Structure 1
Amino acid sequence: MIFRNRSLARLGAAALLASGVFTAMGTPAHAAGTETDLALQAVVGMKTTANAEGKFGWVKISNMGAGTPTELIVKADVSKVDFDKALISPFTEDCTMDGDGRPELVTCKVAKEDIPGPGETAEVLVFVVKNPDAAREAYSAPVTFSIESPDDTDKSNNSATATVEITTDSGVDLGVVVQDVKTRFDPEAEEEQPAAPLRPGDSAIVFGQVINQGDLIGKGVKLTFRLPEGVTFAGPVEACTYGADKRTAVCEDKAFQFEPQMVLFLPMPVVVDKGVKAPSTLPGGSLEAEALGSLPVDSPLARKSTRSTIGKAEVLSAADPRFTDLDPTDNKDDYAVVVAAGTGGEGGGGDGDGGGLPVTGAQTTLIGGIGGAVLVAGAVMFVVARRRRIVLVTPGDEKPTA
């Protein structure tokens, strides 16, 4: 029996993404595929808090070879999952579910433009959706994920087994996703910019996303950015301290309240060194998020403004044994910076290759003391439904919220 992904999409969207968020980012097309080595690095974000409807995690895939595959398939063996209690499934636009009377194997084809090139990374969404009528007690089940490609020369690193956990515990649950950086962007420009490859000397934006999928407010947040060698931060951002080499930034706001189902969108301006060899892919970038404490969502002391003081609210310290990020597996994401051949210039100069989605100007309000207004790439889109709040944490002029 074959279950087409349309029914799966409806179920996942109704149960989880009704309060969820999709992210799509335009990326340049890859060259024709050749032999390569794809690796399934990890499956993260498979543990839910007690009062969350569900969450999404990620299958993390890296291209460790010298070529771009022509095709990539992600599979999940869900034969040991009780679907009366939970729906567990990877998700792309092209998925099927196979089984004899019940789902046993999910097969998803990754869109060609999302297949990672040499040195690049990719994340495939995984839904973890609870049945509220049947998942009132703790439940766990193993799910084996695998990747397949006709161009993959090493099958030894193509699978991983993760334990999906439906818990009765409450907590903060931060998740981080960072896209590979592939296009140049000038944050000082006042006009629309055509999407174009990133080259030595160009400016760009590292787009990070942090989401609280837990059922407690994160009291205070600490964000640690690391850039690949050959890339440096373009300028100071309020509430951030920088390493001597300008490749590490630690941004901390002890008063910020990171509410459940809130998303922080984090564009950080960077510059590629003029002397970087091109074409090349620069690995080693990462973003890690940490909540410094927690606060119950129904506390009368939980403030609505992200800039007011907390007063006498009881806040649990991260050192308190009662506080923990319930699922720390997805608190950090790695990314690469992809540099194309050719000569760029300071602030995103150089000859343009044209095409792609335009970059549009959008003024955003400061939230949590780490951000301000900045021009944000229109190629990055959040589709937001009920109860989901988005917070943009961006460099620029500080403007308090109303």
Structure 2
Amino acid sequence: MTFRTRRAVSMAAAALLASGAFTALGAPAHAAGTETDLAVTAAGTRVAAGVEGKVGWAKIANQGEGTPGKVLFKVDTSKVDATKLVLEAYTGEGDLCRPTGDPKPGLFTCELTAIPGPGETTEVPLVLFKATEQVTGPYSAPVTISIESADDTDDSNNSVDVDVELTAESGVDLGVIVPDVKTRIDLDTFEEEGPLRPGDFGILWSEVINQGDRIAKGVKLTYQLPKGATFLPIDGCDLSANQRTLVCEDKSFPFEPNTILFLPLAIEVSEKVEAPVTLKDGSLAATAFGELPAEARVSKQKKAKPAFAKAEVRSAEESEFADLDPSDNSDDFAVVVAASEGGGGGGGGLPVTGVQAGLIGAVGAGVVLAGAAMFLVARRRRVVMVTPGDEKTTD
């Protein structure tokens, strides 16, 4: 497995990508009269001392059996000192949540356009900036994130209080984002072909970013698929016997700040899955094995081309290394399977050695969603493409 490096797109290009992020997901299917239960959580709101800001996430999960027709997303920043820290939320098609005109200052409200269906999750980017270059930590303030929907039958989990924090600490800060898998993809042409059905192949898009101010020494990615879906064999990663757990690790890879790992993985939905169904409890967890000294300057050395070698699976608690903000080191996802049409899936002709480089250029809703948000906070980022089976390297 080789890594391909490429300069990140500009903020303008990211905005262009964001224009298609949610439309690719399609309109939600409403279930009138069916119990709907949305829940909101937040992660990734602790900022390292040596960075300008970072992207955190509000995660809205649909724990019910119905899909609401309208959801309002609210962020109350009234207790945040805007001379020290600025928090912005982006939702819809890259839209910025705006002040509501409400008498209460610091309240932002916007309508959620990517409404999660049953078993699905929508991630809303929370972009945190230091107000000026002179601002230093420590500083902490409470923020309330909430959702409102007339269709929600349980509002006990519709609000969460979280501290946004500027720290005086330096360190590695890994963040993970994995959107739900919904689309069938032809891996020969890299084209999306519609809803994912039993027997089909899809792509699990994943992104891991180092938003800290220190270089991580080594990284391990542990993927878990829900029952009913399996990974195809991937060169350089350790696949479990049931093909649902995949571990990719490189103990010496220098994972620099402001670097994003993109890893698209081919999955197959079992023909025996009774659809329509949402396969729940997929996950990705990222762990760094250590931290390089502050004076290390990897980017000035010869271009690193690490590989994920097969290695013994190692649990996170065996490492003495501590991530600056572990709240966003993992992300859950679902595999959404639509009902079969005329005998079901298809997808043949898949090379078992993994996804070719051309797939990176395909417009995947997951990459667009996460990538566009991450670029909002970036002045300039370096992107590392993790691409099995491709030996070409470009700048």
Which category describes the TM-score, using the shorter chain as reference length?
0.7 to 0.9
Deviation at 1:44, TM superposition (A): 0.3
| Corresponding position: 1:378 with 2:375 | no
1:311-390 aligned within 5 A = 323-342=321-340, 343-347=343-347, 373-376=357-360, 377-380=362-365, 381=368, 382=371, 386-390=379-383
Per-residue deviation, residues 146-175 of structure 1 (Å, max 9, x unmatched): 111111010011111101110111111111
Deviations 1:175-197 (A, max 9, x none): 1111100011132x1x3534301
Partner of 1:81: 80
TM-score, normalising length: structure 1 = 0.80
Letter of the 1:375 counterpart: L
Assess, with a 3 A threshold, how the Cα gap between structure 1 residues 73 and 204 changes in structure 2: closer, same or farther: same
How far does residue 230 in structure 1 lie from its aligned partner after superposition? Answer: 0.2
The alpha-carbon distance between structure 1 residues 249 and 374, as it changes in their structure 2 partners (threshold 3 A), is farther
The alpha-carbon deviation at position 340 of structure 1 amounts to 0.4
User: Contact (CA 8 Å) 1:268, 1:394: kept in 2 or not?
Assistant: no
Provide closer, same or farther for how the CA distance between residues 387 and 182 of structure 1 changes in structure 2, counting only shifts above 3 A: same
One-letter identity of the residue aligned with 1:237: I
Partner of 2:36: 37
Cα 1:319/1:144, change in 2 over 3 Å: same
- Asked whether the equivalents of residues 94 and 109 of structure 1 are also in contact (C-alpha less than 8 Å), the reply is no
Superposed, which structure 2 residues align to 1:190-339 within 5 Å?
191=189, 193-234=191-232, 236-296=233-293, 298-300=295-297, 303-307=301-305, 323-339=321-337
Task: Select between 277-286 and 86-95 the one with higher mean Cα deviation.
Answer: 86-95
Contact kept, 8 Å, 1:292 with 1:318, in 2: the verdict is: no
Q: Deviations over 1:82-113 (max 9, x none)?
A: 111101232221622147898421112111xx
- Give the partner amino acid of 2:191: Q
Q: 2: CA distance between counterparts of 1:100 and 1:28? A: 32
Letter in 1 for 2:111: K
Q: Give the drift of 1:68.
A: 1.2
Check whether the contact 1:238–1:371 (CA below 8 A) recurs between aligned residues.
Answer: no
Aligned partners of 1:99, 1:263: CA distance in 2, in Å? 37
| Range with greater deviation from structure 2 (99-108 or 197-206) | 99-108
Give 1:305's aligned amino acid: K
Contact 1:38 1:61 in 2 (8 A): no
Q: CA RMSD in A?
A: 3.0
Match of 2:151, SS state, is coil
Contact 2:38 2:64 in 1 (8 A): no
What is the aligned length?
354
Percent of matched pairs sharing the same residue:
49
Distance 2:287 2:157 in 1: 29
The change in CA–CA distance for 1:100 and 1:280 in structure 2 (over 3 A counts) is closer
- The corresponding residue for 1:144 is 144
Pick 1 or 2: higher relative contact order, CA cutoff 8 A, min separation 6. Answer: 2
Sort the Cα spacing of 1:89 and 1:186 in 2 relative to 1 into closer, same or farther, 3 A: same
Identify the match of residue 95 of structure 1 among 94, 97, 102.
97
Structure 2: segments with no counterpart, 5+ residues: 1-9, 308-315
**What's the CA shift for 1:79?**
1.4
Equivalents in 2 of 1:102, 1:260: separation in Å? 37
Measured in 1, the distance between the counterparts of 2:138 and 2:319 equals 24
> 2:390, 2:228 → 1: CA distance?
27
Cα distance per residue 1:37-78 (max 9 Å; x no partner): 333342100000001101111111111111111111111121
